[in-house]
Amino acid sequence: MTAPELDHTRPMPQQEATPGPMGGVLEGVDVSCWFGARKVLEGVNIKMDAGVVTALIGPSGCGKSTFLRTLNRMHELVPIASLAGSVLLDGHDIYGVGLRLTEVRRRIGMVFQKPNPFPAMTIADNVAAGLKLTGKKVSDRDGLIETSLRRAGLWNEVRNRLDAPAGGLSGGQQQRLCIARSLAVSPDILLMDEPCSALDPTSTRRIEETIHELKDQVTIIIVTHNMQQAQRVSQHCAFFLAAENEPGRVVEQGPTEQIFSDPHDPRTADYVNGRFG
């Protein structure tokens, strides 16, 4: 295993002094996707930089979730799915021979639309599940659990009931637990697939705060339907659109501010101003 040692001594956000952005650079090069014979995504080129939160926006069925799932090879779990183009993690193709599938998924974590903590495990076991599942041992398991929960902004709420079943947490807490679980394996990238769509406004705000605190430590890519959320959390933004019976394409991408205030493409302007989608 050529995996780097798990770095759980990483400083906590509030203690950090002028850090450079950590995390990796992810780049999709000419990515196209098919489900069976149906092409759902065509020629997507996006560079997702470290220290920058990239938001993928667009109406339903435009392929943004599919694109997100190609970034950590979850796309290929669908038996009929296929893919063209390449995805580069710090310059190495994640679909190439140099990187193992499990290593790719460990370095590129994912948080799903619906909170999915493991119901058969306690809160602490959930956080440490990634270690067990990847067969890694750490000396300071408790320390890692605390660090991960702190980074996900959940520590203070669950510190006294780490041995309670994870199913007893509220939806928002479960989602932050899932974030903590993803962070515990020290990913370079964190993909978030509409992480707030099943949550109430307060929980949404907590998740967004968490994203703000994390963005210097891991590269975050977030799919969202909520345009205000994209404006609040992201610095880079890509707008996906699929015309009828055509694959999805990136219509426009750039700094979030420019996309929302001064879009070049009239379709982007229509979408961000809520005229369709």
Partner 1 sequence: MAESAGALAASFFLTWLIFNRLLPFRIMPLAFFVIWFVLFLPIYWFVIKDGQGATAAKDRLATAFVIAGAMFTFVPIVTVVAYVLFRGLKSLRPNFFTETMQVVGPLAKATEGGAIHSIIGTLEQLALATIIAVPLGVLTAVYLSEIKGPLARPVRLVADAMTALPSIVAGLFIFSLFIKPHIFTQSGLLGAFALSILMLPTVTITAEQVLRVVPGSLREAALALGAPYWRSVLMVVLPTARAGLSTAVILGMARVVGETAPVLMTTGGTTALNTNPFSGFQDNLPLFVFAQIRSSQDSQVDRGWTGALILLVVVLLLFILARVIGSAKPGQRRFRIPVPGRGRRRSGR
φ, ψ of residue 178 in degrees (nearest 5): -65, -35
Among 34, 39, 118, 270, binds partner 1 (CB under 8 A): 118
162 close to 201: Cβ distance less than 8 angstroms = no
| Residue numbers 212-241 binding partner 1 by CB under 8 A | none
Q: Taking the complex as a whole, how short is the minimal distance between the CB of residue 162 and partner 1, in angstroms?
A: 6
Examine residue 163 and tell whether it contacts partner 1 (CB under 8 A): yes
Q: Which stretch binds partner 1 (CB under 8 A): 45-53, 108-116, 201-209, 259-267?
A: 108-116
268 close to 251: Cβ distance less than 8 angstroms = yes
**131 vs 272 by CB, closer to partner 1:** 131
Q: Taking the complex as a whole, how short is the minimal distance between the CB of residue 95 and partner 1, in angstroms?
A: 16
What amino acid is encoded at 151 in this protein?
R
What's the chain's Rg over C-alpha atoms?
A: 18
Q: Taking the complex as a whole, how short is the minimal distance between the CB of residue 90 and partner 1, in angstroms?
A: 17
Examine residue 182 and tell whether it contacts partner 1 (CB under 8 A): yes
Taking residues 83 to 102 in sequence order and writing x for each that binds partner 1 by CB under 8 A, - otherwise, the string is -------------------x
Examine residue 124 and tell whether it contacts partner 1 (CB under 8 A): yes
> How many CA atoms lie less than 13 Å away from 163 in the CB half-sphere?
0
Distance, CA of 263 to CA of 273 (rounded, Å) = 10
- Token digits for 114? 């619906």
Q: CA torsion angle for 165, 170, 171, 175 (degrees, to 10)?
A: -60
Strand partners, 34: 39, 82
Helix (H, G, I), strand (E, B) or coil at 92: strand
**82 vs 102 by CB, closer to partner 1:** 102
- Token digits for 222? 């977030």
**52 vs 74 by CB, closer to partner 1:** 74
Helix (H, G, I), strand (E, B) or coil at 186: coil
φ, ψ of residue 214 in degrees (nearest 5): -90, -15
**116 vs 226 by CB, closer to partner 1:** 116
Q: Which stretch binds partner 1 (CB under 8 A): 47-55, 107-115, 203-211, 220-228?
A: 107-115
Among 99, 121, 198, 269, binds partner 1 (CB under 8 A): 121
- Interacting residues toward partner 1 by CB under 8 A: 72, 74, 77, 102-107, 109-110, 112, 114, 116-122, 124, 129-130, 132-135, 142, 159-160, 162-163, 165-168, 178, 181-182, 185
